[in-house]
Structure 1
Amino acid sequence: MDDGVIAALRRAVASAPDDVELAAHLAEELSVRDQHDEAIGIVTKLLARAPENERLRGVLADVLRRARPEAPVVAPAESAPVAHAARFDWSAAERQLAASEAAALDDASRAADVLSDEVPVTRLSDVAGMSDVKRRIEATFLVPARNPELREMYAASLRGGLLLYGPPGCGKTFLARALAGELGANFFSASITDILDPYVGASERNLHDLFVAARASSPAVIFFDEIDTLGQRRSSLRNAAAMRNVVNQLLIELDGVDGSNEGIYVLAASNQPWDIDPALRRPGRFDRTVFVGPPDAAAREAIFVAHLRKRPIGELDVKALARATEGLSGADIAFVCSAAAEAALMDSVGTGRARPITMDDLRDAIKETPASIGPWLDTARNIVTFSDDGTYADVKALLRRMRRS
């Protein structure tokens, strides 16, 4: 190859700066011509962006071997000068190679970092109220999991996952951790930010690595938060091929195509279950569903107690507070407690005397705190009114209770 080819490669790389293979080819040809500094500069810049790329690490290693002063350097032709790159910082380049390899290992094990090394200590008994939700979780998931002999006798399968759905701020994640604690399983939690990656194919790899790590640590619970974002309807992703591939990869992993999912319990939470790709709701995938609505009276009492326990309080009627906050989410009630504490604090600063949080503080905070689930209820009303086939009967019942249907 002559220098005209190098010039052509440089032009091609300039016109396609994201083409890793093309840039790596240019670096190899530059190295053959003893232009090691430029070759190493190209490869190290690419490695900074894609440290897991084995092709680039191999090219850098080859360039370093060619460029070492003590190694023979092959000239492309007798007339071409031999250039020993003695001025190049070999130690720095080798550190770059080692760092890229370490980064690649870190990237490959990133899914394992999501794992809580300790089995969650939370149990369903720690979840106040919500007796109907806990009963359904017991029946659909825990009873088969805890009774392997009976499961085998009745040929019952644990394949598939459990979808917790409902308005935001109502404790779906807490329930998932409690379920992991009941199963005595390691807990992997993955959100969209843990999975999605701007590089082509990296998101699918992240999903695969997560399941690999969970299979190696079974029994394990994999919990997908906001599964409606990660597993969107593919019909709405016609112009987003990358996201369609993520949904396809999730289906592959749920089916256990690349490995056994024995001992892997897959949970997911969603605020918008109607946006989930229908294929994810088929048997063997997220085929069990439990609606997690706003906390009931017992749960609201427990939330008030939990958020006021470490704050100075006067005489409070927790049952009255629970009655006054029907329709508020757990997050809303937490905000009410914070707002009441802030009012008491500011009053204490103004008077110069510390005082406890009172019922008046809490009542005022409740009046100023609208139910955050209002927009969700409006969307849900449209769904159950115009397109529900009976799937969301629990949502319809909630709408009747909230008088929004």
Structure 2
Amino acid sequence: MSDALIESLTAAVGARPDDLPLRQHLAELLVAAGRPAEAVGHAAHILARNPGDAAARQIMAAALGPGPAPGAPPAPSPSPAGVDWEALEGEFRGIVPPRFVTGGADRAFDVERAGVTLADVGGMQDVKERLELSFLGPLRNPGLRGLYGKSLRGGLLLYGPPGCGKTFLARAVAGEAGAAFLSLSVVDVLAMWVGSSERNLHDLFAAARAHAPCVLFLDEIDALGHKRSQLSSSGLRTLVNQLLTELDGIDGGNDGVFVLAATNAPWDVDAALRRPGRLDRTVLVLPPDEPARAAVLEYHLRDRPIAGVDLGRLAAATDTYSGADLAHVCETAAEYAMRDSLATGEVRMITQDDLAAAVREVRPSTGAWFATARTVAVFGNQGGEYDDLAAYLKQRKLL
């Protein structure tokens, strides 16, 4: 095998690092040339982008086995099922994002390390205090946790209007705790084959248990755990049953796994999911208050050219706007300034007038949600589970 050819391909890969076929060809040549250590790095890069790549797995297995003599054709690769993927994850931690694959299946989940903390979350003081009491405090104080017999398992259901930061809050909890973070939505679970959806759900919880302490975020929990009495599909009812089983954690296996679930429609979530030991705590995540709105606006304007902007006035004019609405306001104002710059050929700054015009154009998206929530607070609050929602609506004179 020509070293010159390998060096040329190495330079080409350096110039085009995202060209996976080129990188795979280089890795194959390195294995054949008796340079398995170099081949491992390239195979790992491919698997980080495409965990199900069978050719990359074969290259990895061949490189980790007894390498062929220089110039000899590559030996038949052992089965990927014989590779110790957990050992590889430890070897490449910090270089390749961690993966967890169960049962030799192609199913893999990204295990993240969140780069944000609760300090990055504007407002939501009540929510932060509840999270501190139920998970963060016990995690930081193992002595007190043992004294009071407080486990790290449990779940919290976040509900409220869309676009108010429930997903961002979940990432911030993981970052605050220094815990792993796994996120799942309904599209990651549902499959067309009988039993596949249940297995996907089980694999996710297995990955979370393997990386404890871990914050497991279940988005759109009303789709995964809809009221079984309203489901006509037996497959979806079975999926809800599987979710209940995983939340219970056989033999206490969920210790160190904190489940955060989010929904815009908690009234559609199966009641069994909200029993003690499961998602037994419920927190209302409301649109940001005025100081939080100012912080959100400042965040979305920080890298844009602005001049003469009064964040306080903007925050006062955007009552009931969600975080997503505020981001849209900033985007719209930037479009106004860019439109004028294109028309005149002179770049100008984003001004207060641009943002005021954007506020007039972008209306708050939370109105429809509160209209539905008002009906629930009046007619569906027999057990007091929506008392916090009713109190907020009364304060806003919407009830």
CA contact (8 A) 2:157 2:261 kept: yes
Aligned to 2:142: 148
* Residue ranges of structure 1 left out of the alignment (5+ in a row): 1-51, 53-93
Q: In structure 2, do the counterparts of structure 1 residues 280 and 110 end up closer, same or farther at CA, with 3 Å as the change threshold?
A: farther
Quote the Cα distance in structure 1 between the aligned partners of 2:372 and 2:199. Answer: 34
Residues 1:333 and 2:329 aligned together: no
CA contact (8 A) 2:333 2:354 kept: yes
State the SS of the aligned residue for 1:129: coil
Alignment of 1:287-302 (within 5 A): 287-302=280-295
Quote the Cα distance in structure 1 between the aligned partners of 2:170 and 2:196. Answer: 27
Aligned to 1:394: 388
Q: In structure 2, do the counterparts of structure 1 residues 162 and 110 end up closer, same or farther at CA, with 3 Å as the change threshold?
A: farther
CA contact (8 A) 2:287 2:323 kept: yes
CA contact (8 A) 1:114 1:190 kept: no
CA contact (8 A) 2:151 2:255 kept: no
Q: In structure 2, do the counterparts of structure 1 residues 181 and 110 end up closer, same or farther at CA, with 3 Å as the change threshold?
A: farther
Residues 1:180 and 2:170 aligned together: no
Deviation at 1:313, TM superposition (A): 0.7
Quote the Cα distance in structure 1 between the aligned partners of 2:103 and 2:397. Answer: 50
Q: In structure 2, do the counterparts of structure 1 residues 395 and 243 end up closer, same or farther at CA, with 3 Å as the change threshold?
A: same
Q: In structure 2, do the counterparts of structure 1 residues 375 and 101 end up closer, same or farther at CA, with 3 Å as the change threshold?
A: farther
Quote the Cα distance in structure 2 between the aligned partners of 1:216 and 1:130. Answer: 31
Alignment of 1:234-249 (within 5 A): 234-237=228-231, 239-249=232-242
Residues 1:233 and 2:233 aligned together: no
Aligned to 2:110: 114
Residues 1:254 and 2:247 aligned together: yes
Q: In structure 2, do the counterparts of structure 1 residues 327 and 276 end up closer, same or farther at CA, with 3 Å as the change threshold?
A: same
State the SS of the aligned residue for 2:191: coil
Aligned to 1:189: 183
Tell me the TM-score normalized by structure 1: 0.71
Quote the Cα distance in structure 1 between the aligned partners of 2:234 and 2:391. Answer: 38
Quote the Cα distance in structure 2 between the aligned partners of 1:111 and 1:147. Answer: 35
Letter of the aligned partner of 2:111 in structure 1?
L
Alignment of 1:375-394 (within 5 A): 375-389=368-382, 390-394=384-388
Deviation at 1:366, TM superposition (A): 0.5
Out of 118, 128, 136, the residue aligned to residue 134 of structure 1 is 128
Letter of the aligned partner of 2:110 in structure 1?
V
Quote the Cα distance in structure 1 between the aligned partners of 2:230 and 2:367. Answer: 26
Deviation at 1:397, TM superposition (A): 2.7
* Residue ranges of structure 2 left out of the alignment (5+ in a row): 1-51, 53-75, 84-100
CA contact (8 A) 1:140 1:288 kept: no
Deviation at 1:111, TM superposition (A): 5.3
Deviation at 1:308, TM superposition (A): 0.9
Deviation at 1:402, TM superposition (A): 3.8
Letter of the aligned partner of 2:242 in structure 1?
Q
How big is each residue's C-alpha offset from its partner over 1:176-205, in whole Å with a ceiling of 9 and x where there is no partner?
011111221111100000011111000000
Deviation at 1:311, TM superposition (A): 1.1
Quote the Cα distance in structure 2 between the aligned partners of 1:141 and 1:108. Answer: 33
Aligned to 1:342: 335
Give the structure with higher Rg (CA).
Answer: 1
How big is each residue's C-alpha offset from its partner over 1:345-396, in whole Å with a ceiling of 9 and x where there is no partner?
1112222222111111111111111110111111101100111132112212
How big is each residue's C-alpha offset from its partner over 1:33-84, in whole Å with a ceiling of 9 and x where there is no partner?
xxxxxxxxxxxxxxxxxxx9xxxxxxxxxxxxxxxxxxxxxxxxxxxxxxxx
Identity %: 54
Deviation at 1:121, TM superposition (A): 2.4
Residues 1:357 and 2:350 aligned together: yes
Letter of the aligned partner of 1:291 in structure 2?
L
Q: In structure 2, do the counterparts of structure 1 residues 110 and 315 end up closer, same or farther at CA, with 3 Å as the change threshold?
A: farther
State the SS of the aligned residue for 2:250: coil
Letter of the aligned partner of 1:224 in structure 2?
L
Letter of the aligned partner of 1:135 in structure 2?
E
Quote the Cα distance in structure 1 between the aligned partners of 2:244 and 2:104. Answer: 21
State the SS of the aligned residue for 1:156: coil
Deviation at 1:140, TM superposition (A): 2.9
How big is each residue's C-alpha offset from its partner over 1:66-118, in whole Å with a ceiling of 9 and x where there is no partner?
xxxxxxxxxxxxxxxxxxxxxxxxxxxx99xx99999xx799555542322xx
State the SS of the aligned residue for 1:164: strand
Quote the Cα distance in structure 2 between the aligned partners of 1:378 and 1:133. Answer: 23
State the SS of the aligned residue for 1:113: strand
Deviation at 1:122, TM superposition (A): 1.1
Quote the Cα distance in structure 2 between the aligned partners of 1:136 and 1:267. Answer: 12
Q: In structure 2, do the counterparts of structure 1 residues 401 and 107 end up closer, same or farther at CA, with 3 Å as the change threshold?
A: farther
Q: In structure 2, do the counterparts of structure 1 residues 179 and 214 end up closer, same or farther at CA, with 3 Å as the change threshold?
A: same
Aligned to 1:24: none
CA contact (8 A) 1:170 1:293 kept: yes
